[in-house]
Structure 1
Amino acid sequence: MATIGTHSGAFQADEALGVWLLRQLPQYESAPLIRSRDMEKLKPLTIVIDVAGTYDHDLLRYDHHQRGFFETFDGENKAAKDGGRPDVTGPETATGEFKTKLSASGLVYKHYGREVLIRLHPSLSANPDALDWVYRKMYEDFMEAIDGNDNGIELAEAVRYKESSTLPHRVHRLNARWNAPKDGPTEDERFETASALCGAEFGEMLRYIVECELPAREIVETALRARTAVHASGRARSKRYELERRHGLPAEGLVQFVLYPDSSGMWRVQAVTVEGTAFTNRLGLLEPWRGLRDAELVARSGIDGCKFVHATGFIGGNATYDGALAMALKTIEGGSTSVELK
């Protein structure tokens, strides 16, 4: 029977998620889990993650703590593999697009992620392009944050507030407290709770990507192809950076606004953010409109049906599609500069 190994002691989201991912595969779904730091106990196990100081896919050993390790999602530690100093590792040695060092669960996902995705969503097996897209999207939107956190990589050089609601924080709080009652859950029971939590979060994100974002991507690509039918500039339609690159849009042709109806029937005109940012727009709605509503906004803009423009200029609303389009086009023609949302 196959067996899974990881370290004992305090646990983190990394190995809790890694074990859950392995258990989605048929060869490990019933595998006993051994948690130990004793090399003699780990040696005979089928697959070992996050302990033992070795990364070797052929041997099914997936640790990331050893000197010289700097594997990434789409690359490797070129310096070490080419015979250079194994301690010279970092983003500059990565050979691929991604620069975040993998954790143990990142290694599991890199090697077995596609199999896991197909097991959870069998329809992906019939569409290799969709499978590849979801595989990468799940890494970008979920797995990379686990890798960064477990490897002590700060999200930014400077932060404005503390974030303690992330999955790694929630898993950390499942460890036994210093004053926990002696008759409470065992360490292994706590680990299983953490692993189940990680799996639930992974599954929820995957469902959203497969059932919502993947179909939307197809719609967006169709819209991107037809963008010049909306306006000759092609700058008022979609906001998918990956698709812009695929279709080779020049800098001057990048999409600035997306138009869509909300649940109330109002048409929204929303600015597209600068790629790699969460709150900086390529182009904000005109500054004189910001913070205005209804009749005052109609009078200031000269566009019928205006409902509102957010104080930062990142979104506005109009009663009709034509009105929302007019708001976007008037802004594009006016050349309002990009703004950072506060």
Structure 2
Amino acid sequence: LDARLACLHSAFCVSLVLQPPPTPATTNQCMLQRASKVAMMSTGTSAPETMGSEHVLTMGTHSGTFQCDEALGIWMLRQLPRWASARLVRSRDQAVLETLDIVIDVGGTYNLEALRFDHHQRGFFETFDGELGAATKPDEATGAFKTKLSACGLVYKHYGRELLSVLCPNLGGVGGARLEAVYVKLYRDMIEALDAIDNGIEVADEPRYREGTGLSSRIHRLNPKWNSPKVDRAGEDALFEEASALAGREFGEHLDGLSGCWLPARDLVEAALLERHQVHPSGAVICFTRGGMPWKEHLYDLERAHGANLVLFVLYEDQAGMWRVQAVTAEGTAFTNRLSLPA
């Protein structure tokens, strides 16, 4: 830090508790409006049908053992108006798949125009924010994310913004900063891990323990057991629908937390950042009217977004009604402060 910040150090010690806190900011609550439609749609194995002269839209994925990525991918598509009433076909027959309107996780093709979203083919290495066809391995990825997409990642990449606008209209619509923030955060917090697991990417080079309680594991356990009575295709499809509904509930819980808790905290942090000069002339101190909310990640992002000088200290009222001051840590560190209070 430069000499100017060092000179502020002693002044802060006196002035932090003397400045009146700004007026509490009004937050825009974003309450998740859950989709009311039921995921248990018609499922089959044959080519699409027509009702009179009207074409019935069809979506497809593979038959047999199911995984989390296509279970969630199908659920996400079903929340969109275009695909809400589509008939699901589970098959590995290429002749059948070619007749379907949209296919995920099978077929050996990734083609947005053709609505084909598989990730198993040789040479495929697409990421959430990378340039199409630019990479063949993680260290060549052009975006911030380095994880190879699975079926759910492909669906979310191309339809996620529309999906969020349908499930949570209060986010402000496609193209808005609020929806975009949730779109990226939900991928980072949920979808990326599902992509990694489906593609066999470990969270660490040498895992210290096995993890079997996550969504991918729970969905895998819904498959028929090898030594259980034989399950016919209708029974297998019913289990897939159960898996898809489970994945959808998990997605809804993540979105509910982001829209109802994480995003309102971001609004408060942004308001405090914009009002920081009312707390101290330097703009290096911000004040929250309540504590307990997640603020560090938001602060780092918003400082960049607004081109603001680094905030050094945060004032907030704890649950006991006592005012506290906390030094802001350097981004990416847990204990290295941008500027520490005197011992």
Instruction: Give the TM-score of the pair, scaled to structure 1.
Output: 0.72
Contact kept, 8 Å, 1:7 with 1:51, in 2: the verdict is yes
Cα displacement string for residues 299-328 of structure 1 (whole angstroms, at most 9, x for unaligned residues): xxxxxxxxxxxxxxxxxxxxxxxxxxxxxx
Q: Distance in 1 between matches of 2:85 and 2:74?
A: 12
Q: Distance in 2 between matches of 1:187 and 1:66?
A: 25
> How far is 1:271 from its partner?
7.2
Residue 316 of structure 2 aligns to a residue in which SS? Answer: strand
> How far is 1:172 from its partner?
1.2
Partner of 2:304: 245
Match of 1:259 among 291, 312, 316: 316
- Asked if 1:234 corresponds to 2:289, the answer is no
Matches within 5 A, 1:197-212: 197-212=246-261
Contact kept, 8 Å, 1:5 with 1:42, in 2: the verdict is yes
Partner of 2:123: 68
**CA shift in 2, pair 1:190/1:274, >3 Å:** farther
> How far is 1:107 from its partner?
0.8
Partner of 1:153: 201
Partner of 1:306: none
Matches within 5 A, 1:174-323: 174-182=222-230, 186-227=235-276, 230=279, 232=282, 234=284, 238-239=295-296, 240=298, 241-249=300-308, 253-255=310-312, 259-262=316-319, 265=321, 275=331, 280-283=334-337
Which segments of 5 or more consecutive residues in structure 2 lack a partner in the other structure?
Answer: 1-55, 288-294
Match of 2:108 among 42, 47, 53: 53
Q: Distance in 1 between matches of 2:83 and 2:112?
A: 16
Partner of 1:288: none
Which segments of 5 or more consecutive residues in structure 1 lack a partner in the other structure?
Answer: 81-88, 285-328, 335-342
Partner of 1:314: none
> How far is 1:193 from its partner?
0.7
- Asked if 1:143 corresponds to 2:191, the answer is yes
> How far is 1:202 from its partner?
0.6
Partner of 2:149: 102
Q: Distance in 2 between matches of 1:206 and 1:273?
A: 28
> How far is 1:108 from its partner?
0.6
Cα displacement string for residues 29-55 of structure 1 (whole angstroms, at most 9, x for unaligned residues): 111111111101111000000011100
Identical-residue share of aligned pairs (%): 56
Contact kept, 8 Å, 1:258 with 1:272, in 2: the verdict is no
Q: Distance in 1 between matches of 2:231 and 2:124?
A: 40
**CA shift in 2, pair 1:104/1:183, >3 Å:** closer
Q: Distance in 2 between matches of 1:268 and 1:9?
A: 57
Number of matched pairs = 276
